[in-house]
């Protein structure tokens, strides 16, 4: 009996050593392909929001508009929300890089937290602030070290990060015909697209009334 236990002991120790590895692997976020979409993908109304990470008005949009809008319409499943990139690189030299960081984080399942962090720390890196351009430092504050390393690798090497930006920019130019950020596009009534470029000059209560009418099919 003792000999049998001694023979089984090495196998038990081996299992004990390898079990945490399998557990850690299972916790690794799966690649995400639709990270810019939230809310109800089958909702009758879609809201597209074009932003530029270096635009101060877009930072206000995410700080002042998005929290209430998220609570009222995204978390309740009333709308499908799509965040689209529209970097105006002629006046915002860091906007494209910021989009790369956000989209790289999105590939790993950290899109929303990094989007909000980039906007929240805008004054530390954008061209009208301290102009450090150090978006990496801002993002590193909210990601685990392992995830941050993967984001850096993607930012340096993955062409898909620019491809998704180009897709959004092409849509902005050729479909929605917008020229400023932030701009919201309300998609309702069989796909009719209605841009609102004055969203930050509109009281939220007025926008809510307008959107509720769209949800009611009016």
Confidence label for 189 from pLDDT (cuts 50, 70 and 90): confident
CA distance 96 to 89: 7
**Structural domains of the chain, with CATH:** 47-215 (3.40.30.10)
Each residue's pLDDT tens digit, 124-176: 998 776 778 899 999 999 999 999 999 999 999 999 899 999 999 999 999 99
CA distance 58 to 182: 5
Cβ(82)–Cβ(34) under 8 Å?
no
> Among candidates 66, 71, 96, which has minimal Cα distance to 83?
66
Question: 3-class SS at 55?
Answer: coil
Verdict on whether the full-model pTM lies above 0.75: yes
Each residue's pLDDT tens digit, 24-74: 333 445 556 799 999 999 999 999 999 999 999 999 999 999 999 999 999
Over range 188-196, report the average pLDDT.
92
pLDDT at 14 over 90: no
Cβ(104)–Cβ(56) under 8 Å?
no
CA distance 19 to 38: 35
pLDDT at 7 over 50: no
Cβ(49)–Cβ(207) under 8 Å?
no
Each residue's pLDDT tens digit, 104-132: 999 999 999 999 999 999 999 987 767 78
> Among candidates 93, 92, 96, 86, which has minimal Cα distance to 179?
86
pLDDT at position 126:
86
Retrieve residue 13's tokens. 């120790």
């Amino acid at each position: 009996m003792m000999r049998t236990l001694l023979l089984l002991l090495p196998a038990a120790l081996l299992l004990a050593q390898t079990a945490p590895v399998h557990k850690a692997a299972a916790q690794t976020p799966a690649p995400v392909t639709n990270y810019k979409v939230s809310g109800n993908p089958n909702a009758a109304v879609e809201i597209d929001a074009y932003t530029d990470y270096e635009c101060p008005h877009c930072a206000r949009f995410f700080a002042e508009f998005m929290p209430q809008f998220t609570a009222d319409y995204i978390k309740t499943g009333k709308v499908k929300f799509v965040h689209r990139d529209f970097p105006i690189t002629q006046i915002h030299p860091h906007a494209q890089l910021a989009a790369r960081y956000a989209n790289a984080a999105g590939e790993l399942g950290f899109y929303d937290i990094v989007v909000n962090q980039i906007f929240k720390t805008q004054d530390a890196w954008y061209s009208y602030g301290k102009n450090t351009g150090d978006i990496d430092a801002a993002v590193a504050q909210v990601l685990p070290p392992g995830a941050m390393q993967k984001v850096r690798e993607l930012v340096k090497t993955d062409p898909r990060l620019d491809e998704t930006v180009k897709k959004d920019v092409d849509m902005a130019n050729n479909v929605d015909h917008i020229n400023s950020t932030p701009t919201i596009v309300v998609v309702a009534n069989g796909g009719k697209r209605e841009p609102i470029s004055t969203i930050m000059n509109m009281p939220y209560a007025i926008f809510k009334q307008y959107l509720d009418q769209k949800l009611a099919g009016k």
